[in-house]
Structure 1
Amino acid sequence: MPSLIVSVPTEQLAADLGPLPDRVELHVWDMESPAPADRIDIVVPPYMSMSDVLPRLEGVEVGFVQGQSIGYEGIEAQLPEGMVFANAATVHETSTAELAVALTLAAQRHLPAYVRAQDEQRWAPDFAASLADRRVLLLGYGGVGKAIAARLAPFEVEITAVASRARDEDGMPVHSVDELPALLGSAEILIVSLPGGATTRHIIDDDALSALPDGALVVNVGRGSLIDPDALVAHVRRGRIRAALDVTEPEPLPADHPLWSLDGVLIAPHVGGASTAMRPRVARLVRAQIDRALAGERPLNVVIGG
């Protein structure tokens, strides 16, 4: 008899895990069909559709659920009572940080305007703002924030980090979020990577945007709920603020939303983690969880229950 029953949502992830010990029974379960067993020790739901499928775990005895995203706001309400949930910390930080820097560079160096000019076969040089020498405020200094800071360092920027609590982390002075209002006034670029939830909802509101200097760039790779969209639209319309967004509120952004057509806004469709780095890292995390379970050790990244 197997000592560990695991389900993954795709044949691809099953293959990526490689050969497993004989004690592991692996099922490919997309969570649309009935559960393959009455008890499953580790359930990996499909990527980006957990809210639709988690209620289907009702009646199944589950050791823990291993998500494929870092964010987990709203998951507890969908998860059957008493279940344990682990997020995918270590999987998406690199890709999300890459996109944060890419969005920042694209906005600073006017790449969207050049693409539009290319579509029209039009030579349209201009004089753009650098990333070098800019004062960058990182709002969020968890895994993603630290990965962004590491990638910004070679660009010769001045970095200020803000998180939920003040601390010194590996030589980086991290300010408390209570200090944010006083720090915004000197930030030429604000990069937001906080998690969502009630405590961070609209942390960047009209007051915060008003505190930023004219021409500041706001980059959001955290959650759309971090920024008040009405306030952002108002500031962009006045030409005060620019924005580069991988996440929006609401999401997907409706076709008639003003952010689509405002000058100074660059939008990506929530693809921070959607790169070739994801597959091997998800497999590495799931394999680590399997090895820990076989060894009787607590799973990594538990954020709900347990």
Structure 2
Amino acid sequence: MVKIITDSVSDIPKEYIDMYDIKVLPLKVIFGDEVYRDGIDIDTKTMFDRLKTTNEYPTTSQVTPAEFEQEFSEVVNSGNEVICITMSSALSGTYNSALIASREFDANKIRVIDSKAITLGYGMIVIEAAKMASNGIGIDDIESRVRDLVNNMEYLIIFDTLEYIYKGGRISKSQYMMSNLLNIKVIMTMKDGQVVAREKVRGRKKAIKYIIDYIEKNESTLDGRVIGMNHANDKSYLEELKEAVLSKYIPSETIYSEVGCTVAAYSGLSAVALYYEKTKK
């Protein structure tokens, strides 16, 4: 049997983790000398509550080769195989940690795949792999499907504020202040494993409208397809996006989750996102 392993940045809902027996290894969230396991010792609300009362900005730490090796060993020694799907190698050393660990085992038993993404978009890839594994599909077919999805997932992420991008040192103070003044919302996507801006609009309503317009322009429909939506500590914003999408389309399955601490430290409060497999042209 094939066992699916991933990291906590995939932001997979707990019910799917339990349903498909997915193993999730946590990244670390670090405040000074305090180290927390993402999703285990700290959640997004707790992290943001702490950020409101301190100027100390958290850093994050990748999953180590030793942690991956321990999990790989348990699976392989039980007579099973591994598909390991990690967050983007362009944003973390987690993929390389898994790759290093995999070299201690038969290459046919362990396949390590770079999702080239973050959060639930690649979490959906992990879920698809786990569904296939639960149906007894072999490692080669699962790997082929996963690599196809890596190249064909759509990521439409609305950053409601650039505050945490500024605090993380990724934009200048003037850029941050101007975005606040103009009520700028940035629609982000994934490109070559990096989070990049796709469009900038003014206000939430225009940001959500941009996403609906984008779907209408680039997809025939989302009817009958699996889609994902998640939020960063703002369920009401998720409800706005959900209403806009589901009033037009009837997906076969909609997967909802909350952004974990690792991604939330980058996105800030009130980010929301939509994910789906693109129509092949």
TM (norm. structure 2) is 0.28
Bigger radius of gyration among the two: 1
Structure richer in helix, relative to its length: 2
TM (norm. structure 1) is 0.26
Higher relative contact order (CA 8 A, sep 6+): 2
Structure richer in strand, relative to its length: 2
